[in-house]
Amino acid sequence: QNYTREAILRMAEEEDVEFIRLQFTDMFGTLKNIAIPSSKLEKAMDNRCVIDASSIGGFIRNEEADMYLHPDLSTFTILPWRPQQGKVARFICDIYQEDGTPYKESPRFILNRVAAKAAEMGYSLMVNPECEFFLFHTDDNGMPTTTTHEKAGYMDLSPVDLGENARRDMVLTLEEMGYEIESSHHEIAPGQHEIDFQFSDAPETADKVMTFKVAVRTIAKRHGLHATFMPKPKAGVNGSGMHVNMYLMKDGKNIFSDPSDDLGLSREGYSFLAGIFAHIKGMTALCNPLVNSYKRLAPGFEAPSDITWSSRQRTALVRVQTQRNEGARLELRSPDSSANPYLVFALCLAAGLDGIEKNLQAPKELKENIRKLSREEKENAGIDTLPENLSEALEEFQKDPLMRAVLGDTFTKCYVKAKRKEWESYMEQVSEWEIEQYLYRV
Ligand code: GLN
Ligand code: MG
Ligand code: MG
Ligand code: MG
């Protein structure tokens, strides 16, 4: 919605809005906000609200800690889950420095910069994410557990289920907020759900993913449940992914579609795919940012671990789909919802454009099930694998110059430093698995 200042002031007045949340996303994909009383609404729209950014994740430049929040007026939304009296609205903000220049490490800025480059070439990236999550019970102290009493599985209908009711409420709330929900269903693991929304351009979709997660958590809580986007909360069952469906639009048309191709994918589509393949190892540190992300990617649970594509195999890294109304699309299946959506989409777009600019050739489709191939057979077929853990992913990330080009030097340095620390802290732990395996035996 393209709201004017006057329209926003009027809405806030008429709807009796008492507080405004000024939101932005940090480097690690965490939504941050400050709340201001509605009497400060004009000040906020004058871009005069300041944050002290020195203690926000990834904002490490102490000397330049004062940052200005510039609300994006088009993101004005009254949050439907707040009380009817004294309503709360929000803006998603861009971040500017004291000298009036944009803060270049802001993920929203990074995505907008790549999107602007694509726009110069006449392209816009259309994205539709599939966010999966678990709904778990809380304990007597209200703390989240990994327990679910639910027995339902893939696309099951379970009328008496607590999770089912919560999901219904989530969909209705999101629709109230202007989301077009394509579908929602029960996922494979007990307590696991998925809600998909429709294609919009990458910057808008990234904003939507951030708000989606807040909405899902908030509504879950109302139903006495804890929603988690943790990639692999439980061993032995599927983890939660955020498959990213994409196509490029030019002059209002999906340019990935080409009916004359066997699979219906155009030359640009194949090159975009080749670009993703060329950079996916470097991108993985951002698409799968947690130590835990790599446990989801371990073989056997419908998440990819090898760099292959297919028009039918669900375990492939990229699935090419052409049977849908929108025409051809690529589905990148490795990202998970713990990732920062601004950065995931920025890197997908940059990698894909690199493929188009360099006219890269996609490898052949892998028609057989990758799970049936041995390590040797994969090697002989020249099939590469994704990084197996966060440490490997960080090495690949630092090796790929495109990552630095998209994210910038400062961002890259801070990110690697923080994530190295996370990895080291993990490596200092001794897990139950190790005690079970080794304590008696060795
Ligand atoms: N949960 C799987 C993943 O981690 C996907 C399963 C599915 O959507 N069919 O990617
Ligand atoms: Mg799905
Ligand atoms: Mg799914
Ligand atoms: Mg999918």
Q: How many CB atoms lie within 10 A of CB 177?
A: 16
Residue 239, ligand 1, Cβ within 6 A: yes
* CA of residue 303 to ligand 1 center, whole Å: 6
Amino acid present at 88: V
Q: What is the structure's pLDDT at 158? A: 59
- Alpha-carbon gap, residue 309 to 330, rounded angstroms: 10
Residue 396, ligand 1, Cβ within 6 A: no
Strand partners, 72: 92
Distances (CA, A) of 415 to 28, 57, 112, 116, 174: 8, 10, 19, 24, 32
Q: Please report the atom of ligand 1 found closest to the CA of residue 304.
A: 10
Q: At what angle do helices 107-120 and 202-222 cross, to 10 degrees?
A: 140
Burial class (CB in 10 A: 0-12, 13-18, 19+), 408: middle
Q: Please report the atom of ligand 1 found closest to the CA of residue 194.
A: 8
- CA within 13 Å, CB half, 172: 9
Strand ranges for 261-362 from DSSP E: 309-310, 318-321, 329-332
- Alpha-carbon gap, residue 349 to 372, rounded angstroms: 32
Q: What is the structure's pLDDT at 367? A: 84
Please give the model's pTM, rounded to 2 decimal places: 0.95
- Alpha-carbon gap, residue 148 to 255, rounded angstroms: 44
**By C-alpha distance, which of 161, 174, 164 is closest to 214?**
174
Neighbours of ion ligand 3 (CB under 5 A): 194
Residue 296, ligand 1, Cβ within 6 A: yes
Q: What is the structure's pLDDT at 258? A: 94
- Answer whether 302's CB lies under 8 Å from 231's CB: no
Q: How many CB atoms lie within 10 A of CB 33?
A: 18
Ligand index nearest the alpha carbon of residue 319: 4
Q: What is the structure's pLDDT at 372? A: 81
Residue 297, ligand 1, Cβ within 6 A: no
Q: What is the structure's pLDDT at 168? A: 92
- Alpha-carbon gap, residue 259 to 280, rounded angstroms: 27
Q: What is the structure's pLDDT at 97? A: 92
- Alpha-carbon gap, residue 305 to 388, rounded angstroms: 8
Query: 363 in helix, strand or coil?
Result: coil
- Answer whether 141's CB lies under 8 Å from 222's CB: no
Ligand 1 pocket test: which of 130, 184, 187 has the largest number of ligand atoms within 8 Å of its C-beta? 187
- Alpha-carbon gap, residue 146 to 435, rounded angstroms: 21
Q: What is the ipTM of this complex?
A: 0.96
Q: What is the mean pLDDT of each run of 10 residues along the chain (442 residues)?
A: 92 94 95 94 95 70 77 95 82 94 95 98 97 92 84 61 86 94 88 92 97 96 95 96 97 94 95 98 98 96 94 90 82 97 98 98 87 84 94 98 97 96 98 95 92
Strands 66-78 and 87-97: antiparallel
